[in-house]
Amino acid sequence: MSFATGLICRECHTSYEVAARYTCDECFGPLEVAYDLAAAKGKVTHASIAAGPNSMWRYRDLLPEVGDAPIDLGAGWTPLRRANRLGEILGVKELWLKDDTRNPTGSFKDRVVSVALSAARELGFTTAACASTGNLATSVAAHAASIGWPSVTIIPSDLEKSKIAMTAIFGGTVLGVEGNYDDVNRLCVELVSEHPDWAFANVNLRPFYAEGSKTLAFEIAEQLGWTLPDQVVVPMASGSQFTKVSKGFNELIALGLVDGETPVMFGSQATGCSPIATAHATGEEVFIPQRPNTIARSLAIGNPADGIYVLEKLREQGGDCGSVSDPEILECIELLARTEGIFAETAGGVTIASLRQMIQRGTIDPNKSIVAVISGHGLKTLDAIVDSATVSATIRPTLESAQDALAVQVVSAAQ
């Protein structure tokens, strides 16, 4: 059973019953799902979790109420891999990669969508919707299709072709907006006032949606044998993954499931969309919205909803946030692939490049353990790499032609 008790305003702490609402009536602050952790303590145990399925739903006691069975394509329980080859290059003693490319639709968004739409069904909704930079739209369309719901996913019209195709194939309505994600987001906030019967995963269902990211923290701790890493690096768009991963670690500590301190959280942004990194670097408590211009489209949110909470946490813990260029992103997609055999989308390049940057400037300690979250699969952003990642040579189907080409390849590899 879920130990969720209702919703609570993060700002003024006004409580609400479970319902599809996302802002506080008093102050417009964000609502979060509240839990009775005191009641859960001793009931949610290592054994009770281990008895659950090999998916994120092994933690359903610590997620919103979803009725008899969640809408589940198999999100979560992705590998946590020791990355010694990449660690050696970056000078890190103990580096782990949380490989969330391995989700049903290829990104961590399957975690949040599985929670949001399951909670939505429990609340009586029958239509799924979202504002998206791509990955969320794909996941919403897929989960909706799996239960026969119509979906309306709204994205910037100039997204990567692969992300549009991966969404449209599931048969819902896909609206391409002439504008950036922040335009899409504003439109969806207006649409939800006109269509309160639609479950917008990241608008009216946002408190439930956000909870799904906690399962990243739960899995990392469990996969490390119920211990906490010292430092965690995540990519940031709205900053919701950052804040909820941190919340997840804190809940495990409160429940006595792990000992020790909350890991220090580090964020990653592309310089072309770095409102949080910029505010943190200049010591501002409030970020200035930015018009995104980066190949890391999945992170291109210029007005991040959780930005101020990320800045608060960075200050509190002495964390940091990377800000990396498009060439660095591409270089680190390649570095990750060639050292660890993981093909990440642009956001993964942002995370690895930011990790490297923060090690170089001394804010991340390479002698303490580090977990980096790789949030999406490289096939989603082929556009970014197809020009550079291509055949080594085109040859005729003859032995001579192959040997000539290989000789050139071997010589250039040796240089």
Q: Are 229 and 372 in contact (CB under 8 A)?
A: no
Contact between 183 and other proteins (CB under 8 A)?
A: yes
Mark residue 24 as left, alpha or beta (left: phi above 0; alpha: psi -120 to 50; beta: remaining). beta
Contact between 19 and other proteins (CB under 8 A)?
A: no
Q: Where are the beta strands (DSSP E) in 313-366?
A: 321-324
Contact between 189 and other proteins (CB under 8 A)?
A: yes
Among positions 50, 51, 286, 399, the unique one binding other proteins when judged by CB under 8 A: 286
Among positions 188, 252, 265, 373, the unique one binding other proteins when judged by CB under 8 A: 188
Helix axes 135-146, 109-122, angle to 10 degrees: 40
> Closer to other proteins at the Cβ: 34 or 254?
34
In sequence order, what are the residues at sequence separation of 6 or more whose Cβ sits closer than 8 angstroms to the Cβ of residue 269?
235, 236, 275, 276, 277, 299, 321, 322, 323, 324, 350, 354
Among positions 2, 3, 18, 30, the unique one binding other proteins when judged by CB under 8 A: 30
Among positions 36, 88, 158, 190, the unique one binding other proteins when judged by CB under 8 A: 190
Q: Are 98 and 82 in contact (CB under 8 A)?
A: no
Task: Give backbone dihedrals phi and psi of 267, rounded to 5 degrees, phi first.
Answer: -105, 165
Among positions 13, 15, 19, 25, the unique one binding other proteins when judged by CB under 8 A: 25
Question: Across the strands, what pairs with 234?
Answer: 267
> Closer to other proteins at the Cβ: 14 or 84?
14
* Contact characters 192-221, other proteins, x per CB under 8 A: xxx-x-----xx--x---------------
* Residues 128 to 157 in contact with other proteins, rule: CB under 8 A: 131
Q: CB of 244: closest distance to other proteins in angstroms?
A: 11
* Residues 84 to 103 in contact with other proteins, rule: CB under 8 A: none
Residue 141 CA to residue 8 CA, distance in Å, equals: 29
* Residues 287 to 326 in contact with other proteins, rule: CB under 8 A: 289, 301, 303-306, 308
Q: Name the one residue in this structure whose structure tokens are 């500590």.
A: 253
Burial 112-138 (b: 16+ CB within 10 A, else e): bbbbbbbbbbbbebebbbbbbbbbbbb
Give the residues lining the site for other proteins (CB under 8 A): 11, 22-23, 25-30, 131, 181-183, 185-186, 188-190, 192-194, 196, 202-203, 206, 237-240, 286, 289, 301, 303-306, 308
